[in-house]
Structure formats: C-alpha cells, structure tokens
Chain A
C-alpha cells in the first residue's frame, strides 16, 4: 500500500464512521477499532495511568494533567489547524477537573500515541473521539485531589466539594487549592475509570461558554507558533522541485550550475519512494528562503514523464457525458426497485450535476523543519496526522519509530491537506544529507500543483413523484475517479447512510470510477461537500416540480423521528434533522414575502454525525451577480464545548462553502494543474462575505465535531435561492462556470 492509498483508507474509514457502526450501540472499543487505524491499536494504549512523571513533586495522574506548586497544566493532544481543539479539548478536562479556566495553562502535547491515544486533526473527530477519555482524565484527577484533601483536612471525602481549582469543606469553611494538594494527590492510587462519576450537562460551569483561543494573545503579537515560524540555530532553507505531472522522475538537472549560485549551500536530486509518499525531485539548500527560491529560477530539470500522470479534465468530462446514460459499474445502494418505481412514477425528473476539482488552498504553504542529530531525526511539523508522518519518516530512513521525534506545530489551515505528510518525508530526505537543521518551504505554486485534490464528479440523477407530489424513486448514477482502478478516491463514494438513502423505499446509487492518476484526498467534509449540492438541489427541483413547499417536502422525507441506523448515536436521526430544518426556517423567516430578484433557499445535510440546516438569503441581478445577504444556520451536534469556537466553525464553513462554490476550480491537462496561485484561484473577500446567524440545538447526545458538517448545506441553499429568485437552475460548481459572480 502506498501513502496515498493509506490516506485514502483512513479517509474512507472516517467517512464511513456514521454508518458502518450500526446496528449495535457503539462501544468505545468498537469506535476505537474503527478509528484507530494508525499504528495498530495505539489508540487503545491510552490509560488513566500517567506518562513517566516529568518532574519530581508534581501530580500527573495521566498524560493530560500536571499539577504542581506552580499551577495546573493541561496537554492539548491533537494538532491545531484552526478548529480550536487546542482550546476545546483542554476545556473538557478542566470541566471535570473543576479547574478555574484562568488557572489553566495549555501546552501542546508531544506526539506520543501510547500516552495520548490517536492524535489527529481530521474527520471532525477530535471532540467525539476524546470526549470520554478527557472527561475521565479530569474526573480521575479531581477524585484524587479530593482524596488528598480529605487526608489533609481530616474529614470524609463525601463532605468535600470542588470548584475553581479548590477542594472545599463547606461545613468548616476551609478550602485547599489544587496546587497545595499536588504532592498528597500524587501518592494516591489512580481510580478505575468505571468508578468515576461524570457531570451531567446541567452541572457544567465551563463547557458551553465563550472562551477565547489559548493561542490568541501570542497570535496577535506575531509570536512564532506555526510550522513556518520554526527557527533553529544554524538552520538552512530548502526548496524542493517536483515534476509538474505527478510521477515524473528526474533524468538530469544542472545541479553544478545551481550550486554555484549565491547563497546556495547544496543541491541534489532525490529518488522517490512511493510507499511513504515521497515524489522524486531536486532539492536546493541555501542560506535563506529567498536564496533558495531565487536559485530555483535557474534550475533546469529534464523529467521522464513516461510513468507520470497525463490526466485531462476535458477528457474525463467527455467520458462522463458518454457514461451517464449507461448503468453504473457498481450499486453501493440498491433499496427496493428504483427502475420500476421510476417507470411507475406519476412525474419523472432527470438532471445532470457536475463539479470540478478543488484545491485545499490552506493559507500556509506546506513546510517542515528537520534536524538529524544524536542518532535521531527530529521534525517540527504543521501536520494533521503526526503519528503517521513519524512512521513514514522512520520507514523512509530505515529508522525505528523511537528514533523519529515529531514536534507538532500549529498549522495555518488544514482542511484535510495536512493529513498527507509529503512535506515531512521530503524534508527528512533532505535533512538526512545535512549536518544542520533545515526548513523546507513550498511556494504557493508548489502547493497548488501538488495538492491532494478534492475530486470533481458527475451525477446523473433521476427521481419520480407520485400524484400527491411525494418522492417515490431516486437513482443517482455517480461517475467518479480511482487511482488503482478499484477503490474510488477520497470523497468519491456514495454509500449506505448518504441521504436520502434510508428514507426512500426505492433508492439506488450507481457508481463508475474513471482512471485518474493525480492524488486526491480528503477535503473538508469529503464527499458531503459535493453530494450535498447534488442531492439538496435535486430535492428542491422535485419540490418545485410537485408545486410544493420545499420545507414541507423535506420534513415529509424525514418522517417519524427515528435513528436511520438503530442504536447508533452517529447515525442520522430524522427527528434531529427535522428539528434543525424547522429552526433554520423559523429563524430565517421562511415563507415571508421577498422583493423581486431576491429569495430564500433551504438545504439540509447530515455529515460527521452533525445535523445542519441552512437558509440563504440571496439577491441576483440581471448580470448574474449575486449578493448573499445572510445565511441562517441551525445545528444539532449535541452539547457545545466552546460556544465561541463552535459559532466560528459554522460561520467559517459557510464562508468556505460560498468561496468554493463561486469560482474555485482546478483543471488539468497533460497531468498538469492549470492554476498556480490565487490570481487564478479566487477566494472570497470580506466585502462579499455574508452575515451568518448560528443557532444550536443542544440535544443531550454525546457531542460531535463541527469542523466540517456546516459546509455541505451552503451551496445547495444558495443555488436553491438563486432558482427561486430567477427560475434558473444551477447544476454545476463552481457557479462561475455558468456566468455567476458575487457583487
């Protein structure tokens, strides 16, 4: 298995989480089996026992907490790439610990999956995957502190309560701060997880509040936080040039001429290693980033492209056009008899939806710093998946895992791109030839030409209505891509559990994968970010064809409140779905009179176990210029951890969704990406950014993640509004392809 397939496999398992777990209740063990795909069961290695104590005279009941005379430290275990987990995960610990948030110092944890469990920023999994473990960690420490206080005060533990980092004996008015109890608590046994009492949501003092991010003050002062900010004494700076068509190999290069350029320290070709995701290329090492970039302009490489990608967007578009009238190769869903139901329908609708490839375009271009020293390779990496990067580097260099140290640094955006650790293996290959630390810096052009792209796709959808305007048949003939001719790329798989499968009696998904060599990977809400557009737009088309209210049709589809996979708390619950749809509609004033050329559009999508509905208020002028005045979102992701962060994620997902649907497309010819920078890949600017209202239904289910699920409903909500305002149905993304722009 090579690195791309490996990533794809991880992505597939994350995509499948909401639906593969049925029918039995999700046990933590089963959950970890499904998610702990890295390093064979390391996730199970988490224990409420601590790591080796880092300092004498400190209380470290587990890997997450250290209390000593100086204060309370909580480790943030997962990488931070913008979803606020460096704040929200420690908040969960602090809540059960009953620590005052102002007393808490948060530190990014080391990469150590034996101590911390699986470490990843991805799949909107940080909160749901760690919810129990973090609560137990806090509660275990609290219990030990109470036990220590009981001894110190000579009273029964049952007479004690905790609040604001103190154990309090109300009867006597005495209290002890946690920092005073560290030594005594450290001497007590760690309680069994089963013996711990966890708080009910009504007891929360910290969770659900607005808490500003723990790095914010350092951020606004411009302090070094990100991967790109890493500096080490004697550090050199590198660029790495790869073949513009993925898979091309180096035949020759003017290495000697490049080495003679000012500021250049070294230059050399590097062989590829497909198993770890290292592409062949030429490294230039220099005294500064600019010296390396400047020298690179003189670099001339002859590439052998015989085994390289020759992908062409126009060719696959033509192929899909051919295939859409033919049955698909496989049927991931085949409920009832969709063909017969289509034949029997009172009214039948047919539509062809398409969308382009997209780039992650995280604002911090890939970079990584590495230093071979003392028999180890040490890396400073802005990665979403540090454990896997560590293994890849070990495999590349023939080192033991223990000989590779990874420091996880803040990433300037991830969106799924940093799940693929190509920048880590590249810098390791470079640093392995040097005696000094080196920082590898990709340019934006490197980043856009060597992304793990969100795949484009094509859907021939057909549906039938009965005489009452109810949907009786649904068939989605999906044409997607595969790198190995078998497994679809990330996000390229319709499957059971993808709405509306599960609510319609006759529903078929067909799938055909076209050959494609350029790497594709998870892009915020993989699959969902495009399936939502197709399905929620087409449902609106059906409502219009039936001359029925869109809201009414959606609610009818949900039907009675129930889990679509019985006993699975990560499945779609039709009652929760109806709840958010009704709330978004109510808050947006659904059904009200709108001025000429302006309308509301509605969409719902379920992904990453989150139920989200959005209503977009959109104007369109005669030149197809749109204004998105406001988006009203309603979300049910269970209890909210950090209200500020949660709202920020929904607001940001909506802006991201709008930015992407408007004008972002990546096209390919001869295996080469035709866009190279933001001049050809436009991003939404402030003036065009809508007002966003966010409403949460804090249901009493375990919390689920919010990094992704608010994105998929946006595009169909906007397109449905455009249809209502103008009568023009948009069936392609980005909508700039149909002449739309934002005013």
Chain B
C-alpha cells in the first residue's frame, strides 16, 4: 500500500503496482476526476496536476514517483471557504471553455505559472501553456484569463499583504 499526499491530505492507495500512472489512481481509485485522460503519452496536457508546485502530466508519472512529493489537483485549488481562486474565477468570468475537457489541465498550468511569475508577459504565458492542447481553440481566452487572473492575484495580494507574506511591490 502506498501513501500519497494529495491536496493537503494523506490518501492510501491499494494499487500495488508502483508503475501505475498517477492519473488512473486519481481518477479510478481516489475519485478525483478533474484531471483528464487525453493521450496517455504526455502530449496533450489534459491530465496536468502539480507535483510540488510544478505542472506534470499525470498520465506519465508513476504513482510511486508521486508518492515522494505533494500532489495538487484542480479539486484542491479552491480554498476551504469554497471561494474560487483568481485563476478559476477568471475562467468563469471570461467564459473560456467550449467543451471544457482540457480546461482543468490549462488551469493547473496557469496556476503554476502565476505562482512563480505573478505578472507574466505573452511570451511567458505561451511558454508555460505550450504543453496544454485545446482542441476547441480557446487559446485567445485562456491567454486573456491568465492576464485577468494575474491582475486579480496582484490586487488580492495588495489588499491582504499578511496572507501572502508581504507587499509584492
């Protein structure tokens, strides 16, 4: 039995095959279906989750490797008060999604980007999002939503400096 740290909780996993991709453990065993199966070869990004804060393709990360770090899935983004994060809220406000299937992965990639670069320019956004395909072609809105979220995150930080450890300026 493996133990995983997911969204801040310890979760036990029955699957004894350590090579099982994290994606299928999340989806089939733990009921966390936000990360999606798209290609199985780390080419589409639909399965993106964060491992120690960095975006990874969970279809190609063995569960044993994930057990060594902290996993964040889209279900773990909104805080306990159930309020959406600035990234999630921007996705709703800008009506980004069409079919919506890739968007959990897009949101995770954007979340990781903004955590390390709170005010990314277009090139930084394009680079950070390059591993996430959108078959419906919502890229224009995704880019806009990342910028909106960056603005919001900035405002939120200024409004409550204590929470994030100080004024970003």
A contact set with B: CB distance below 8 Å: 80-84, 210-213, 215-217, 219-226, 228-229, 231, 237, 262, 288-290, 294, 361-365, 410-415, 441, 443-444, 644-645, 648-649, 651-656, 659, 677-679, 683-687, 689, 691-692
Contacts and interface: CB of A to CB of B under 8 A. Distances in A.
B98 A652 contact: yes
Nearest to A83: B98
Contacts of A655: 134, 136-140
A363 B101 contact: yes
Contact of A412 (B34, B36, B78): B36
A212 B135 contact: no
Contacts of B136: 82, 413, 652, 655-656
Given A216-B92, A289-B27, A365 B33 contact: no
A644 B84 CA distance: 21
Given A444-B38, A683-B135, 6 more contacts: A216-B91, A222-B32, A228-B33, A648-B95, A655-B134, A691-B140
Contact of B92 (A210, A217, A441, A444): A217
Contacts of B130: 685-687
A692 B37 CA distance: 29
B6 interface: no
A210 B24 contact: no
Task: Report, nearest first, the 6 A-B pairs whose CB atoms are least far apart.
Answer: A222-B34, A655-B137, A412-B101, A82-B99, A222-B74, A687-B126
Nearest to B24: A290
Contact of A220 (B74, B138, B140): B74
Interface residue SS majority, chain A: loop
B35 A363 contact: no
A87 to B, nearest CB: 9
B165 interface: no
Contact of B97 (A219, A364, A684): A219
Contacts of A412: 36, 99-102
B164 interface: no
Interface string B69-107: 000011101100000100011011111111111111001
Given A220-B92, A443-B40, A364 B75 contact: no
Interface residues of B, number: 63
Name the residue in B34, B84, B97, B101 with the highest tally of chain A Cβ atoms < 10 Å from its Cβ: B101
12 contacts: A215-B97, A222-B104, A226-B101, A290-B20, A290-B21, A363-B44, A412-B99, A443-B40, A649-B98, A683-B44, A687-B127, A691-B140
A499 to B, nearest CB: 25
A651 B138 contact: yes
Contact of B24 (A212, A225, A289, A659): A289
A288 B97 contact: no
B168 interface: no
Nearest to A223: B34
Nearest to B97: A219
A226 B140 contact: no
Nearest to B85: A220
A363 B36 CA distance: 9
Contacts of A82: 97-100, 136
Given A648-B95, A686-B143, A222 B35 contact: yes
A220 B95 contact: no
Contacts of B75: 221-222
B125 interface: yes
A215 B100 CA distance: 9
Contacts of A413: 98-99, 101, 135-136
Contacts of B88: 220-221
Nearest to A650: B137
A699 to B, nearest CB: 24
B141 A237 contact: no
Contacts of A363: 36, 38, 44, 46, 99, 101-102, 133-135
Interface string B115-145: 0000000000111011011111111111100
B133 A685 contact: yes
B139 A365 contact: no
